[in-house]
Amino acid sequence: MNETQRAKIVLKILNKTYPTTPIPLKHRNIFTLLVSVLLSAQCTDVNVNNATKNIYPKYNKPEHFVKLGRKKIEKLIRSIGIFRIKAKSVYNLSKTLVEKYNGKVPRTFEELEELPGVGHKTASVVMSQGFGYPAFPIDTHIHRLAQRWGLTNGKNVVQTEEDLKRLFPKKYWNKLHLQIIYYGREYCKARECYGISCKICTSCYPKRKRPIKTKKA
């Protein structure tokens, strides 16, 4: 079985398992989506949602966070990992949006990636989930799963993104990114499946008997 055949199996199982894909990070607008994605680094979506449910009803514009200042932002997100670094990014990001973009989130990869604290993955999430632009955000979990499923030899997330974009039609990218995340959390967990027990792993590699080691991103 080659990678193209495996990609078809993956797509079929994911479409059947997750016909709908709600965005896991709760947000009120594209700006709060951007902030939530920033906050989710090295942190679960559940933790981010728990923290922001008390923030976004009151503070949901760049102007609000500029007015709050860094120290107050720190207090608001204290329950989230590396909160001081993230508070600095949220403050500087908000300041840049107010000063350079009139408080609006820019709609291009180039402009997004120039914002404080925003890398390619964060920009990809905002472009796909916020603006509906075809993108394939790759985090360490998707990187791991793509290796397990034989869709990439996964030296890094850049290569994994290129391989997945090559294997799957563009019209599926946005939904597929979320489907893979959901599937990984529920069925192909890092310390439970090991590449030998979930439906996708057993369908793509029916003869695999030993746990597969994945290369870190």
Q: For domain 30-130, is the CATH number 1.10.10.60?
A: no
Name the amino acid, one letter, at 26. Answer: K
Q: What is the 3-state secondary structure (H, E, C) of 66-114?
A: HHHCHHHHHHHCCCCCCHHHHHHHHHHHHHHHHHHHCCCCCCCHHHHHC
Per annotation, catalytic residue among 53, 67, 139, 209? 139
139 catalytic per annotation: yes
The one-digit pLDDT tens for each residue of the chain (217 residues) are 999 999 999 999 999 999 999 999 999 999 999 999 999 988 899 999 999 999 999 999 999 999 999 999 999 999 998 999 999 999 999 999 999 999 999 999 999 999 999 999 999 999 999 999 999 999 888 999 999 999 999 789 999 999 999 999 999 999 999 999 999 999 999 889 999 999 999 999 999 999 988 877 6
> For residues 195 and 204, what is the distance between their CA atoms, to the nearest angstrom?
10
Q: For domain 3-21+136-204, is the CATH number 3.90.550.10?
A: no
45 catalytic per annotation: no
Q: Where are the alpha helices (DSSP H) in the chain?
A: 3-17, 30-39, 45-52, 62-68, 70-76, 83-101, 109-113, 120-125, 140-148, 157-167, 173-186, 199-204
Sequence-distant (≥ 6) Cβ neighbours of residue 146 within 8 angstroms: 138, 152, 154, 160, 163, 164, 180
> Which tens digits make up the pLDDT trace of 128-150?
999 999 999 998 889 999 999 99
Sorted by where each begins, the domain ranges of the chain are 3-21+136-204, 30-130
Sequence-distant (≥ 6) Cβ neighbours of residue 24 within 8 angstroms: 45, 49, 178, 181, 182
Per annotation, catalytic residue among 88, 121, 175, 199? 121
